[in-house]
Every structure is written in C-alpha cells, then in structure tokens.
Structure 1
Amino acid sequence: MDYTTLGSSGLKVSPVCLGAMNFGTSDAVAGCDETEAARIIDAFLDAGGNIIDTADGYTGGQSERIVGRAVKGRRQSVVLATKAFLPQGPGPNDRGLSRVHLTRALEASLRRLGTDYVDLYQCHQWDDSTPIEETVATLDGFVRSGKVRYLGCSNFTAAQVVESQWAAQRLGATPFVSLQSQYSLLARGIEAEILPTSRRHGLGTLVWSPLGGGVLTGRYRRGAAPGADTRMGRLRASTLPMARAWADGLLNEPNLEIADQVVKVAADLVATPAAVALAWVRRRPGVTSVIIGPRTLEQFHGNLAGFTLDLPAEVIGRLDEISRSASLVPVNGMTTGRQ
C-alpha cells in the first residue's frame, strides 16, 4: 500500500482510513460488536492500512474502548486518531472546545483507548462559544505535554480553517495538519473552497461518507422503503429527528439517480458500485485519505476493492458529469454530528 504525508506534517498515512463510528452496540445505527470490530481492525492492519479514526462521541465511548483493545499489541504501527466536541455529560461545560472540556475529554479518551498518547487529536466541529485562541492554545499544550502528536479539525468551513491557522501563527502554537470533510459523488461542495484552502494552509484531507451513507452501493431503489437491516432503514427508525432527516436528505430523487448511474458504470467495469464510488473519490485532487466505516468484515473487503480499482479516464469523466449537480450540496448540510 502506498503512503502519503498528512498535510504539512511528516506523518505517513495510508490512502484508506478505517472509521470506527460503527464499532459498538449502544447505538442502534452502528451495531458492530467487539468481536467483528476486532476482525475488521486486524484485516485492515494486515492489508497495510495504518490510520484508524474514532471519536469520544461514538457509541457512548464504546468505539474508543474497542479500538484501544484491538490495537494494543500493535500500537506503534497505528496512527490513532480521535475527536472531541460532542456532549460527554449534562453540564454546560461537558461539550465544546473550551479549555476545561478539551482537557477532560482528552484524559477520558486516553483512558478508553488504553494509551498515553494520541497520534491525531481533532476538533469534531467548530465551537462558536469559545474563542479560537483558547482552543488553539489548549491543543498546543497537549502537544507540548506529549499526550498528542498532531492536531486536526473536522467539519470546519474554509473560513474557520483560515481563522484557526492564523490563530496558531499569532500564538506561536501548533497548527492543524488535517481536516475531515464530507465528500462523495453525492456531496462535492468542498471542491469550491475547502479543498483549495486546506492545501494552501497545509492541511491534508480525510474525507468521510464516501459512499453517501450507503446510497452509492446501489442498495436503495426509487419507490421502495429501505430495508430494516440497512443503514438508511435504521436511521429512519431512529427516535432522533436529525437522524431521520439525514436519511430523508440522502434518499432523494437526484441522489438516487446518481446512484443508478454508478450501478451502470460498475456493471460495465464488472465491479461493485461501492468500489467505483470509492475509486472515484480516492483519486480526487486534494484528498489524502478516504474514511470507510464498515460494519462487517465482508463490507470491509468490499470497500478495500475500491482502493485497487483503476478507473479509465472516460469513466472518471462520466462520473464527474453525472454528479455535477452534487457540487451544489451544502458542505456538511446532512451531518448528524456522527462523523
């Protein structure tokens, strides 16, 4: 597997990143138990992958615990990434990017992960209620203490990336080296400003939801309700209005039309729709690593095929054309705070 440096850092990461959002059973939408998660992690590392991404808000902390136990014997070969921002309790200081919350959150993540350092510590989203200087100074302290190696952000706009990097420069603090953003054939909004800004300010890009929540696998059809055992089916059955809205936003007519076209392209190439969608996104300019989130070992192997599939130039052009309308999708307009 080929490796590349993450942004302006010297950290080498694989082109495929294993997302651990589905690891754990406390969340009905996730539902990957520890045994299956360990099998997926072992297969990922054996295939040459090295970066695993989780967050303190995934499956009530189960995800971090599962990942930590699974990599315990191979910790030095893993680039371990986690995130903070989401609520960790009912109190007013139990969420966000303040010094008090980030300090508590990092210590809790280290305990759950069973490690004394995190390779990449990321702000899960922007915090309007905390001065960016406070956040940047706090994160810099983590790096200086040795508890964190590199810093990143997730779901930031281009303007927020610039403001963060400028704050780090003013304070003489450690800058971000990575950004996580939503990117797929269904959501190309980051191409206009975020990808160019990230490159200009030294950030590598880790892209999430490359399969559009599973819509690009071709399993969802017009006029048919999603199966109860599918991701969209579980989201629609959720008690969280935001989860149901996210599913409805993905299962719209334009997206299903794009998915149908991907299915046709895949048939022509004798490949799976998922492999085609992943092969397209991994070769996009500015993309450092693509985050996949398999729930089963079978899904993992199916996703991995997208990193060895070479798309002919005419196929790439065809996919660009059929997904052109997706460039109008608002960046992070369908996020649920999960990734």
Structure 2
Amino acid sequence: MENRRLGSSGLRVPALSFGTGTFGGAGDFFKAWGSTDADGAARLIDICLDHGITMFDSADGYSGGLAEQILGGAIRGKRDRLLVSTKVTFPTGDGANDYGSSRIHLIEAVHASMKRLGVDHLDLLQLHGQDLGTPVEETLSTLDQLVREGKVRYVGASNFSGWHLMKSLAAADRLGYPRHVAHQVYYSLLNREYEWELMPLGHDQGVGATIWSPLGWGKLTGRIRRGQPPRPGTRAHDIAGTGPQFDEERLYRIIDVLDILAEETGKTIPQIALNWLLRRPTVATVIVGARNEEQLIENAGASGWALSGEQVARLDEASTVPAPYPYGHQHGFPMLNETGLPTG
C-alpha cells in the first residue's frame, strides 16, 4: 500500500483508509449503511492490516457512538500498528452544549471518543462540520490545548466551505495554533464540486483531502444502470433521496465509460472509480467502507496500479459539469490558471 504525506504535515497515511460508518447500524440511516458487529469488525480490521490499510476513520455521531465503541474493541492489542481518526461537532445529545466546536463541547467530545475507542490519543481529529456560531479562535485554542496535552496529534476539518477553512488557517498562522492539515470532503466521479475551490485551496495551503463516500453514495458500483434501478437492501436504494444531487443521464454516461475501462484493465468498476480519485491532486487518502470481506478486498484492489492518462481523460470528459460563477469565468482564461489543477 502506498503511503502519502497528509497535506504539508509530517504524518504519512495510507492511500486507502477504512471508514467505520458501517459499524453498529443504529437507526434507519446507519442501518442502511451497514450493521457490522464486533466480531465482523475485528475480522475486517485484520483484513485491512493485511492489505496495508492502516488508518481507520470514525465519528462520534456514527450510530450514536456505537461505531467508535466497536472500532475500539476491534483494534485492541493492535494500536501500535494503526492510525485512529475520528470526528466531532455534530449533536450528541439534547443539551445546549451538546454540539458545535466550542471549548466546552470539543473537550467533552474528545474525552468521550477516546473512552469509547479505548485509546489515550487520537492520531487525527477532524471537526465534522463548520460551527459558524463559535469564534474560530476559541476552536483553535482548544485544539491547541488538546495537542499540547498529547490527546490529539493532528487536526483537520470536514465539510467546510472554502472561506471558513481559509479563515481558520489564517487565524492559526496568526496565533501560532496547529493548522488543519486534513479536510475530509465528499468527492467522486459523480460529484466533482471539490475541484472548484476546495482543491485549489488545499493545493495552495497544504491541506490534504481525505475523501468520504468515494463511490458516490453507492451509485458508482456498477449495479445501477439505465432501466436498472437500485435494489432494495443496497445503500443506493435504502438512503435514496439523501446526499448530493446528481443528473441520472450523467451517471449512466460515467458508468458507460467505467464499463469500457473495466474490460480494458481487467479491474472492477469500483476499483476504477477509486483509482481515478487516487490520481487527483491534493488527495491524501480515500476512505473506503465495506459491509463484508468481499467488498473490502475488492476496494483494496484499487491501489497498486494506475489508469493511463488517456483513460483518466475519458473519465474526466464523461464526468465533468460546467462550473458555476466565478469558477467557470476563471476557467475561460487559461493563462491565469497555471496551477496544474483540473479546471473541468
């Protein structure tokens, strides 16, 4: 497994990480993702480690904390062989301070996550969403405190807008606090909005992308085609209507190209979709999930090889959409876009 630097930090992470949103299955939403129990999780962790997938991502909001608890049990006795990443910010209760990136909530949430995970530190802590009601200086000073106490090694964000991430980075530089070195974002062939502003920001500021839902909320598995809707029991069916919007005809166009490339390469459609992401600028690690061993082993096969430049170009053409203002306007002046980043 290839290892990459996480942004401009010194931390090296595997090109593929494992996401634990499928652990626990508490509630209808997470049950649609998966309901891996403790024994199943332990087996999946072992398979990951055998394939060089050594970073595991969770969140205190996944199945109400059950995912962290199951992950903690599965990594017991293996902590020195892996990296643990989790996220906090979203509501964990009904109390007035049971959400957000305030000092009171961050400290309590981190301690609770560490207890569920059974660890004495988090390798990467990411703010699960932007809290516009808390001053970034308060949030950053709390993250600095957690780093200085040895409870957190690196910090990052997730689902941030470009302006809020840049505001946080500028404040960290001004005040001498730890910078966000990771941004966990949604990015896939089906939805490429990350490229419009967040990718150039990450490139410029040294923020590595950790990609969630790289198969487009289960729509890039090859099981959805023209006249073939998602089947009951699949994630794409059971959480239909949630997640980012997409154009069905564009999805089918992408699948058509993936079909052709699968025949050319001998790889599966999910492996090709994941490999395309691994070739994109700023991407540090792609977070894969799996309900069973077969899915995990297939996803692990996305690394260790590369699509050709011509094959990538075909996927780019099939998946591109016109950029909104001002990004589309900027793309009309190629002489002003000498970053080497995609502009489609």
- With normalisation by structure 2, the TM-score equals 0.89
- Which whole-Å CA distance do the structure 1 matches of 2:196 and 2:239 have between them? 29
Q: 2:288 aligns with which of 287, 292, 298?
A: 292
Answer yes or no: is 1:205 the counterpart of 2:237. no
**3-state secondary structure, aligned to 2:236:** helix
User: Contact 1:23–1:33 at 8 Å: present in 2 too?
Assistant: yes
Name the structure 1 match of 2:120: 116
Answer yes or no: is 1:278 the counterpart of 2:281. no
Q: What code does the residue aligned with 1:28 have?
A: K
Answer yes or no: is 1:262 the counterpart of 2:236. no
Using a 3 Å threshold, how does the CA distance of structure 1 residues 9 and 303 change in structure 2: closer, same or farther? same
Answer yes or no: is 1:81 the counterpart of 2:96. no
- Higher-helix-fraction structure: 1
- With normalisation by structure 1, the TM-score equals 0.90
Name the structure 2 match of 1:32: 36
**3-state secondary structure, aligned to 1:214:** coil
- Which whole-Å CA distance do the structure 1 matches of 2:40 and 2:230 have between them? 24
- Which whole-Å CA distance do the structure 2 matches of 1:25 and 1:209 have between them? 17
User: Contact 1:2–1:15 at 8 Å: present in 2 too?
Assistant: yes
- Which whole-Å CA distance do the structure 2 matches of 1:116 and 1:182 have between them? 29
Name the structure 2 match of 1:246: 243
**3-state secondary structure, aligned to 2:46:** helix
User: Contact 1:57–1:84 at 8 Å: present in 2 too?
Assistant: yes
**3-state secondary structure, aligned to 1:185:** coil
Name the structure 1 match of 2:318: 322
- What CA deviation, in whole Å up to 9, does each residue of 1:283-325 have, x standing for no partner? 1111111111111111001111111232122111111111112
Answer yes or no: is 1:60 the counterpart of 2:64. yes
Name the structure 2 match of 1:179: 183
**3-state secondary structure, aligned to 2:124:** strand
**3-state secondary structure, aligned to 2:194:** helix
CA root-mean-square deviation: 1.6
Q: CA deviation at 1:60?
A: 1.3
Answer yes or no: is 1:10 the counterpart of 2:13. no
Q: Percent identity?
A: 43
Using a 3 Å threshold, how does the CA distance of structure 1 residues 303 and 218 change in structure 2: closer, same or farther? same
Name the structure 2 match of 1:334: none
Answer yes or no: is 1:301 the counterpart of 2:301. no
- Which whole-Å CA distance do the structure 1 matches of 2:20 and 2:52 have between them? 17
Q: CA deviation at 1:77?
A: 1.9
- Which whole-Å CA distance do the structure 1 matches of 2:17 and 2:242 have between them? 27
Q: What code does the residue aligned with 2:84 have?
A: L
* Mapping of residues 157-196 of structure 1, within 5 Å: 157-196=161-200
User: Contact 2:203–2:281 at 8 Å: present in 1 too?
Assistant: no
Q: CA deviation at 1:92?
A: 2.1
**3-state secondary structure, aligned to 2:218:** helix
Q: CA deviation at 1:67?
A: 1.1
- Which whole-Å CA distance do the structure 2 matches of 1:201 and 1:284 have between them? 16
- Which whole-Å CA distance do the structure 2 matches of 1:25 and 1:182 have between them? 21
Q: What code does the residue aligned with 1:152 have?
A: G
Q: CA deviation at 1:8?
A: 1.9
- What CA deviation, in whole Å up to 9, does each residue of 1:128-151 have, x standing for no partner? 111111111111110011111110
User: Contact 1:276–1:309 at 8 Å: present in 2 too?
Assistant: no
**3-state secondary structure, aligned to 2:217:** helix
Q: How many residues align?
A: 320
User: Contact 2:185–2:211 at 8 Å: present in 1 too?
Assistant: yes
Name the structure 2 match of 1:312: 308
- Which whole-Å CA distance do the structure 2 matches of 1:45 and 1:178 have between them? 22
Q: What code does the residue aligned with 1:15 have?
A: A
User: Contact 2:90–2:100 at 8 Å: present in 1 too?
Assistant: yes
- What CA deviation, in whole Å up to 9, does each residue of 1:182-226 have, x standing for no partner? 111111111122112112222111111111112111111234442
Q: CA deviation at 1:269?
A: 2.3
- Which whole-Å CA distance do the structure 2 matches of 1:261 and 1:31 have between them? 32
**3-state secondary structure, aligned to 1:314:** helix
Q: What code does the residue aligned with 1:179 have?
A: H
- What CA deviation, in whole Å up to 9, does each residue of 1:213-268 have, x standing for no partner? 121111112344421110022214xxxxxxx3438x35733223322331232123
- Which whole-Å CA distance do the structure 1 matches of 2:323 and 2:233 have between them? 30
**3-state secondary structure, aligned to 1:325:** coil
| Structure 2, gaps ≥5 residues long | 325-344
Moved more, 214-223 or 313-322: 214-223
Using a 3 Å threshold, how does the CA distance of structure 1 residues 324 and 251 change in structure 2: closer, same or farther? closer
Name the structure 2 match of 1:240: none
**3-state secondary structure, aligned to 1:91:** coil
Answer yes or no: is 1:233 the counterpart of 2:229. no
Q: 1:100 aligns with which of 94, 99, 104?
A: 104
Using a 3 Å threshold, how does the CA distance of structure 1 residues 245 and 2 change in structure 2: closer, same or farther? closer
